[in-house]
Every structure is written in structure tokens, then in C-alpha cells.
Structure 1
Amino acid sequence: MVLKRRATALAAAAVLVLTPALASCGDDDGGNGGRTDGPSTTLPTMTAQPADPSAAEAEITKNWTAFFDPRTPNAERVRLLEDGARMAPVLAAFAGDENAAASSAKVKDVEFTSPSDADVTYDLLVGGKPALPDAKGTSVLQDDTWKVSVRTLCGLVQLSGATQVPGC
């Protein structure tokens, strides 16, 4: 029964996080830099990572670890969650949950998809043992802080079986 539930949770988590929103970029001048002498033959270089990827990865790892640490005060979790003030009631609802109190996360990989977004691979641990190994989530840069995304939190809320959670 536990194995079936874990497989279901992994499948649901995979569906939730393997469908990231794609951002598109364009320009208003038809791609020729405002020139009237014909189309441009070179495109501007777009970077898919922040200016200092090593520092950003370290901050993501630190913040995810703190966010999922049951000893982290709820006020700090609010600060580490995208739109944390709006999502505070969701965090408060799980503050007394027995499973949440035994949960933690270990970040395994960070892959930047833009200067302000990253895909995060992590193990969700319960009692120090992997409950959702190689789980996928996202991190966003908001207010100069790398935060756990609302999408990641809501995906985990759905996996918990909770329904009708405001904000998710």
C-alpha cells in the first residue's frame, strides 16, 4: 500500500513539475534593431542563467533546505516562498501536520531556465528517508531572493491529499 501511494505521488509530482511554463521573448521592431536596411543577420544573445550562477545555486540550495526544515520558523518560511505573504495561510495549515514536521529536503541539482527561474531536483525526506526521491520543483527570483515557487508548494499540497486549499 505504501509503495503504491509513493508511486502515485511520484507520478503526480512528475506531471506537476514536468510541465513548466515557457516564456517567450520578442521585440517590437521586427527583429532588425530598428534599422531600415533589411533584416538583421544576428540575434541578440539570451542568457538562461543569472549573472552569478554559482552564487544563485548556493542560495537556492540554502533557501530550499531552510524552507523544508521543520525547525525553520513559519515567518522565515513565508519569506522563502514565492508570494509568501499571500500563501501564509497554506503554510500555517500545514504547520501542525505530523508528516510536515518530519519532512525535509535535500537539493540534488539546479538547472537555470532563465536569469530568474530554475528547475530544482531534490529528495523530499520524511524522517531522514527519501519519500519522494528525485522530485522536481522550481525556484524563482523574487525581491532579490531565490524562493521556493508557489507551483512547487501547491504540487506538494495536492500530493498530500488536501483539497480546496486557498491559493493553490
Structure 2
Amino acid sequence: MPPPPTASAPEDPAEAEEQVRDAWARFFSPETSVEDKSRVAENGGDYQLMIEALVKDPQTRVLRVRVDSVTFTSDLHARVGYTLFSDGRKVGPDDPGASVRQDDTWKISAKTVCSLTKYGKDVPQAPIC
């Protein structure tokens, strides 16, 4: 179990925001392997098969992201405003996503990755969802 948040923001918010944005960019890049996508997702190894299904699904593999805002709610959590695009057309979401700091690395939250399955044709959610 991770330690409870202790501050309202990371020690270096600018660096932390850069790491958050990088994790999101890597996760949504078509050049990033399933293994690397799993590394930038919270507990990604636990649901790597779902991430692989997201990569292979014809509807989710074309999703691209624009991170619009990063707001730290503690030194371990951030709210991420983002927009998803499919073939250049906005497809969602209506609610913000999240990033978490795990093993001293900022990652996309498991809940956010789980929310991506609704954009696929046949992407089953992992039990973690």
C-alpha cells in the first residue's frame, strides 16, 4: 500500500508535470511497445493483457491525446485534463483523468487506463477495473 499523501504538490511541480505529460505521450504513442505502455501505467504489469487489447483494437489503437492541464492534488496524485482524438476528431472524455506517483515515477492511473476500454470495439476490462 502506498504511503498517504503528505503535501499538496510535489517538491518540484514543473519537473513532475513534465513527467506526467511524458507518461501520457508515451502511453498514447503508436511507437510505444505494450511493455513500455505498461511501465507508464499504474500497476501496468497487472493488466498488461488489457493494454495489449487496447493496442490491437482497431478503434483504440488510433486514439491520440492532448494533455490540457495537470493539477496536483498531493505529492502523489494529479488531476489531468485531457482530450482524446480519433483520426483528428475529438471523441472524449467528459471527465478528467489522473496520474499517480508510483516508485518515484509519475504514471497514468489505472482508473484512467480502464476508462479507455469504452472507446474500443471489443476491449474487455481487466479485473483491476
Instruction: State the SS of the aligned residue for 2:32.
Output: coil
Give the counterpart letter for 1:152 in structure 2: T
Give the TM-score normalised by the residue count of structure 1: 0.67
Aligned to 1:99: 59
Q: Is 1:50 matched up with 2:10?
A: yes
For 2:54 and 2:70, the matched residues in 1 are separated by: 26
**Partners of 1:159 and 1:129 in 2: CA distance:** 13
Task: Give the Cα–Cα distance (whole angstroms) in 1 for the partners of residues 68 and 94 of structure 2.
Answer: 8
Q: CA offsets, 1:44-100, max 9 Å, x none?
A: xx6310000000001101110110122211111010000011011111122211112
1:84-143: CA deviations, max 9, x gaps? 110111111222111122111110100001001000001111112221156410000001
CA contact (8 A) 1:90 1:166 kept: no
- Counterpart of 1:127 in structure 2 is 87
Aligned residue for 2:70?
Answer: 110
**Larger relative CO (CA 8 A, sep 6+): 1 or 2?**
2
Q: Which moved more, 1:153-162 or 1:95-104?
A: 153-162
User: Any gaps of 5 or more consecutive residues in structure 2?
Assistant: none
Poorly superposed stretches of 4+, deviation over 6 Å: none
2: CA distance, partners of 1:122 / 1:115: 20
2:21 alignment partner in structure 1: 61
Structure 2 CA distance for aligned equivalents of residues 143 and 165 of structure 1: 22
Distance in structure 2 (CA, Å) of the matches to 1:96 and 1:131: 19
Aligned CA RMSD, in angstroms, stands at 2.1
CA 1:92–1:155: 2 relative to 1, 3 Å: same
SS in structure 2 opposite 1:146?
A: strand
Amino acid of the structure 1 residue aligned with 2:32 = T
Q: In the superposition, relative to structure 1, how do residues 66 and 149 fare at CA in structure 2: closer, same or farther (>3 Å)?
A: same
Q: TM-score, normalised by structure 2?
A: 0.86
Q: Displacement, 1:160?
A: 4.2
